[in-house]
Amino acid sequence: MQRAPMLDQLRATDAFDVLIIGGGATGLGAAVEAATRGYRVALIERSDFAKGTSSRSTKLVHGGVRYLKQGNISLVRDALRERGRLLRNAPHLARNQAFVIPSYTRWNRFFYGTGLTAYDCLAGELNLGASRRVDRAEALRLLPTVEPAGLVGGVVYHDGQFDDARLAINLAQTAADQGAVLVNYCACTGFIKESGRITGVEVCDEETGAEFTVNARIIINATGVFVDELRKLDEAAAVPLVTASQGIHVVLPRRFLPGEAALMVPKTADGRVLFAVPWHDCVIVGTTDTPVPHASIEPRALDEERAFVMEHARKYLTTDPSDADVLSVYAGLRPLVKMAGTGRTASLSRDHTIVNSAGGLLTITGGKWTTYRKMGEDVINHAEVSAGWPRRESHTADLKVHGWMESASDVYGSDAAAIHELAGAETELSERVHPAFSFRKVEVVWHARREMARTVEDVLARRTRALLLNACASIEAAPVVAGLLARELGRDAAWERAQVSAYTGLARGYVFTDPASRG
Rounded Cα gap, residues 198 and 351, in angstroms: 27
**Other beta carbons within 10 Å of 63:** 25
Distance, first Cα to last Cα, the chain: 37
Rounded Cα gap, residues 330 and 48, in angstroms: 17
For residue 115, how many C-alpha atoms fall within 13 Å in the half-sphere facing its CB?
A: 20
CATH 1.10.8 range(s) for the chain read: 413-518
Could you please report the per-residue DSSP string of 145-174? TB--TT--EEEEEEEEEE-HHHHHHHHHHH
Fold of the domain spanning 413-518:
Helicase, Ruva Protein; domain 3 (1.10.8)
Rounded Cα gap, residues 37 and 52, in angstroms: 27
Q: How far is CA 409 from CA 65, 93, 168, 446, in A?
A: 30, 10, 19, 18
What pLDDT does 352 receive? 86
Whether the pLDDT of residue 347 is over 70: the answer is no
What pLDDT does 343 receive? 40
Helix or strand (DSSP H, E) at 385: helix 372-387
Instruction: Report which of residues 409 and 164 the model is more confident about.
Output: 164
The stretch 105-134 carries a mean pLDDT of: 90
Residues 6 or more apart whose Cβ sits within 8 Å of residue 208 = none
Percent of the chain topping pLDDT 90: 84
Global pTM reads 0.95
What pLDDT does 408 receive? 74
Whether the pLDDT of residue 266 is over 80: the answer is yes
CA angle 18, 398, 161 (to 5 degrees): 100
CATH 3.50.50.60 range(s) for the chain read: 3-53+165-241+347-387
CATH for 90-161+243-343? Answer: 3.30.9.10
pLDDT tens column, 48-106 = 999 999 999 999 999 877 776 666 788 888 899 999 999 999 999 999 999 999 999 99
Asked if 392 contacts 34 with a C-beta cutoff of 8 angstroms, the reply is: no
Whether the pLDDT of residue 514 is over 90: the answer is no
Q: Residue 72 in 3-state DSSP?
A: coil
Rounded Cα gap, residues 487 and 410, in angstroms: 26
Residues 6 or more apart whose Cβ sits within 8 Å of residue 394 = 33, 36, 37, 377, 380, 381
The stretch 188-202 carries a mean pLDDT of: 97
Q: Give the CA-trace dihedral at 388, 390, 393, 395, to 10 degrees.
A: -50
| 3-state helix vs strand vs coil in the chain, percent to 5 | 45, 25, 35
**268 — pLDDT class (breaks 50, 70, 90):** confident
Could you please report the per-residue DSSP string of 334-369? EEEE--TT---GGGSB-SEEEEE-TT-EEEEEE--G
Rounded Cα gap, residues 388 and 360, in angstroms: 12
Whether the pLDDT of residue 449 is over 50: the answer is yes
Whether the pLDDT of residue 486 is over 60: the answer is yes
Rounded Cα gap, residues 74 and 237, in angstroms: 33
CATH superfamily of 3-53+165-241+347-387: FAD/NAD(P)-binding domain (3.50.50.60)
CATH 3.30.9.10 range(s) for the chain read: 90-161+243-343
Asked if 32 contacts 390 with a C-beta cutoff of 8 angstroms, the reply is: no
What residues are paired with 192 via a beta bridge? 200
The mean pLDDT of the chain is 93
The stretch 185-194 carries a mean pLDDT of: 97
**270 — pLDDT class (breaks 50, 70, 90):** low
Asked if 199 contacts 215 with a C-beta cutoff of 8 angstroms, the reply is: yes
Q: How far is CA 285 from CA 67, 160, 258, 291, 481, in A?
A: 20, 16, 14, 19, 28
